[in-house]
Amino acid sequence: MAAIVRLSSMCRRGVKPLFYQSPLLSRPVAALQRDHEQQHLPTARIHSSQALHGSDAKAASRHWTAERVLSVVLLAMGPVAYFSPGPVVDYSLAAALTLHGHWGLGQVLTDYVHGETKVKIASAGLFVLSTVTFAGLCYFNYNDVGICKAVALLWSK
């Protein structure tokens, strides 16, 4: 009872806020800095990349959005490729598929590869792979039947 009375004196709104668990409080604090003015109250440390590296945060956010936009575009290309196959769709499909795969594999790399050198090597490898893939698909579109026709022929077997 005494504990409630003491805590409620800290809360302007009475006892109720005491029982609200703030997710900010449970976040691990990486920098153990003592704020002397705030010693009597817990300070939540948050990540605020917006304040420090505004352009990085904006770039990451735009990349995320671009990934989703490309996904929707690729989704729409399915029926288009089926109903009106041709060179325009072939090259668009080559570009969209390669880029979607490149960005997707990039996320896989980010998740599983750690350490600056390893990340650099893996990213370079991925870039080479995606470039070769796009080159190969364009070569196929130009010198051979093209992606749409290839799928149609494969499926007719």
Partner 1 sequence: MALLLRTFARRGVCLSKPHYNALCRHVAPMGSTAKEEMDKFWSKNTRLNRPVSPHVTIYKWSVPMMMSITHRGTGIALSGAISAFAVAALVLPGNYSYYLDLIHSLSVGPYLIGLAKFGIAFPLSYHTYNGIRHLCWDIGKGFKIPDVYRTGYIVLGLSIITSLALVVM
CB nearer to partner 1: give 68 or 83: 68
Residue 110 CB, nearest approach to partner 1 (Å): 9
Q: How far apart are CA 32 and CA 150, in angstroms?
A: 61
The 3-state DSSP class for residue 11 equals coil
How many residues of this chain bind partner 1 (CB under 8 A)?
Answer: 64
Q: Which of residues 60-89 bind partner 1 (CB under 8 A)?
A: 68, 71-72, 75, 78
Q: How far apart are CA 88 and CA 94, in angstroms?
A: 10
| CA 122 to each of CA 42, 53, 81, 113, 128: distance values in angstroms, whole numbers, following the listed order | 42, 25, 33, 8, 10
Which of 61, 63, 59, 70 is closest to 98 using CA atoms? 70
Which x/- pattern over 23-42 shows residues binding partner 1 (rule: CB under 8 A)? xxx----xx---x--x--xx
Residue 5 CB, nearest approach to partner 1 (Å): 11
| CA 78 to each of CA 41, 102, 135, 141, 151: distance values in angstroms, whole numbers, following the listed order | 57, 19, 21, 17, 12
Residue 83 CB, nearest approach to partner 1 (Å): 15
Residue 100, annotated as binding a ligand:
yes
Q: Which of residues 98-157 bind partner 1 (CB under 8 A)?
A: 98, 101, 104-105, 108, 114-116, 129, 132-137, 139-140, 143-145, 150, 153-155, 157
Backbone angles phi, psi at 11, to 5 degrees: -100, 125
Q: How far apart are CA 87 and CA 92, in angstroms?
A: 8
Residue carrying the six token digits 């090259």: 91
Residue 63, annotated as binding a ligand:
no
Residues at the interface with partner 1 (CB under 8 A): 1, 4, 7, 10-13, 17-25, 30-31, 35, 38, 41-49, 51-53, 56, 68, 71-72, 75, 78, 97-98, 101, 104-105, 108, 114-116, 129, 132-137, 139-140, 143-145, 150, 153-155, 157
